[in-house]
Structure 1
Amino acid sequence: MPAAPRRLPAARQRHRALWFWAFVGPFAAGLALFTYVPLAWSVYLSFFDAHNTVSPTEFVRLDNYATLLADASFRSSLVTFAVFSAFIVPATYALSLGLALAVNRLRAGRAFFRSVFFLPTACSYVVAATVWKLSVFNGVRFGLANTVLGWFGAEPVAWLASTDPPWYWLVIITVRLWLQAGFYMVLFLAGLQRIPPRLYEAAALDGARPGWQTFRHITFPALRSTSVAVVLLLIINAFQAFDEFYNLLSDQRGYPPYARPPLVHLYYLALGQGQDLGLGSAGAVLLALIIAVVTVVQARWSGLGRRED
């Protein structure tokens, strides 16, 4: 019979536990203090009339939730999210997958190009939005986009002020695409490098042509789990869009009435003139529930976590 595993002395176990909490304790305390406590307090505030206070006393039950769901502006913000995600999710997915396929085929300089495409991920959304607003899509004729249009004899376009057609979507989508495509490219690269080379060798022996046929029948199915994770992350990040919308569209006059995603709407609701923290907290809880439901439905529909054959 195999020998039973030797138990560590009690003093050594206490010593290891002490070192464990020495390293993990500060992180756990910070996580609880700055994440879980505010989340719990936000849920608490959502059931109270919390105008200009974080310590309300008037319990209003579910009135904040009913008021928010009846608010046409809040429902409009969800439509804005739907439009934004309908553009940004497939565009980022296609671009990041294409970049990963191109970089993965390189025999030299792979690390260099991977770093180049990943570098915008480290850029602040505020800084990127400012560059896009002042340099690239400036509404006057000196902006880069209008300068290029001028070469072809076209008139300058007020990119962020035009609602017919809504050119502001082009500005918002391109800045988010530039900022996040490199991150998801790295995820796809990791998935591509996990595909066994023998699958491609067997396909070549069976007469499969390299290119689209190999990608369709081998590469893309092998990236199924990575694709599901990427789509889930893209949808969640689309729900959390705030910086690019706020910094691109707001000016000294405030934020325009169009293109308000949920977080921008809740920002003005909770921190604007009304200072209705109870209503804003109810909106935050509703957004968290929507994200959770969408994530679970998407995961179940795509079979995330299901055992693959």
Structure 2
Amino acid sequence: MRHRGAFWFWVFVGPFAAGLALFTYVPLLWSVGLSFFDAHNTVTPTDFVGLDNYTAMLKDGAFTGSLRTFLVFTAFIVPVTFALSLALALMVNRVRRAQAFFRSVFFLPAACSYVVAALIWKMSIFNGVRFGLANTVLGWFGTDPVAWLSTTHPPWYWLVIVTVRLWLQAGFYMILFLAGLQRIDPVLYEAAAVDGARPGWTVLRHITLPQLRATSVAVVLLLVINAFQAFDEFYNLLSDARGYPPYARPPLVYLYYTALGQGQNLGLGSAGAVILALIIAIVTVGQARWLKLGKSAEE
């Protein structure tokens, strides 16, 4: 009986495990191996260079500049998404009728492709001519059209990038917060009301937020990791037939042009990818320890 159970386990899990190993783990290990070789225009290099690719990447101003772009993007998107998704969850949780409808409406953008959303933002909403929705609204107030994606002083392109990412992911994190809210024991709110606590900020600060600590930590970690992995919206919003502009270039966009651009330096691109993965791991572990992930609210 035990052998039959093991047989059916591998029947169902085996294809998924094989696909995961073939299309995820093997390329990851191959990429790590390439980072130690001079791999111009080839994935089977023979010229071993040791840590030279890593040294070159860390000395490359464009790569370090892409990391600064990530920091700016994270400073915008993480707190704004956190606050908006929490606010949406609090509002939906208070709705007594049609809660499933509002939950679905706010979550629906999460099912949209990042590429499609970026093109809608670029072509329809923040088009750099007077026919875009944003410039049309500005025209009602007598303001000249704004070239949203090419204006660097002030950097209006951040408004476009942050709003499209916000629209795409706020609903997903709202669901996480909503699940956390629904696990809070109503007795806590009843006891607070008996003690004279006023509904609103006092209850939110002393009951709701402490009970949501584990969910909040998970949301922050996911937001930071997703910010590191930003590619689709940046590339589809800012690139054109002339290529990608020198500003607002996150790490993955830079590595894409390094590994698959004209030079096709796969060794250098792989080294940058390993560095980025290590940064993500260090930041994630550091955040988890600082925010005490896994500990209860009472500890």
Is the shorter-chain TM-score for this pair beyond 0.5, marking a shared fold?
yes
Question: Which one has a bigger Cα radius of gyration?
Answer: 1
**Aligned with residue 212 of structure 1, among 183, 186, 201:** 201
SS of structure 1 residue aligned to 2:129: coil
Deviations 1:263-303 (A, max 9, x none): 00000000001100000000110010000000000000000
CA distance in 1, matches of 2:112, 2:241: 25
CA distance in 2, matches of 1:294, 1:252: 35
Please give the TM-score of this superposition, normalised by the length of structure 1.
Answer: 0.96
**Aligned with residue 156 of structure 1, among 145, 149, 156:** 145
Letter in 2 for 1:92: T
1:121 is the counterpart of 2:110: yes
1:87 is the counterpart of 2:76: yes
1:264 is the counterpart of 2:272: no
**Aligned with residue 143 of structure 1, among 122, 132, 136:** 132
CA distance in 2, matches of 1:100, 1:128: 23
1:305 is the counterpart of 2:290: no
What is the Cα deviation at residue 99 of structure 1?
Answer: 0.2
Unaligned runs of 5+ in 1: 1-11
* Count of aligned pairs between the two proteins: 298
Q: Which aligned runs of 4 or more in structure 1 are off by greater than 2 angstroms?
A: 306-309
CA distance in 2, matches of 1:46, 1:252: 30
1:186 is the counterpart of 2:161: no
- What are the within-5 Å matches in structure 2 for residues 4-15 of structure 1? 12-15=1-4
CA distance in 2, matches of 1:273, 1:27: 35
Letter in 2 for 1:295: T
1:48 is the counterpart of 2:37: yes
SS of structure 2 residue aligned to 1:292: helix
- Aligned residues with identical type, % of pairs: 78
CA distance in 2, matches of 1:211, 1:181: 22
What is the Cα deviation at residue 306 of structure 1?
Answer: 2.5
- What are the within-5 Å matches in structure 2 for residues 229-244 of structure 1? 229-244=218-233
CA distance in 1, matches of 2:116, 2:85: 22
SS of structure 1 residue aligned to 2:144: coil
Please give the TM-score of this superposition, normalised by the length of structure 2.
Answer: 0.99
Letter in 2 for 1:124: S
CA distance in 1, matches of 2:210, 2:297: 11
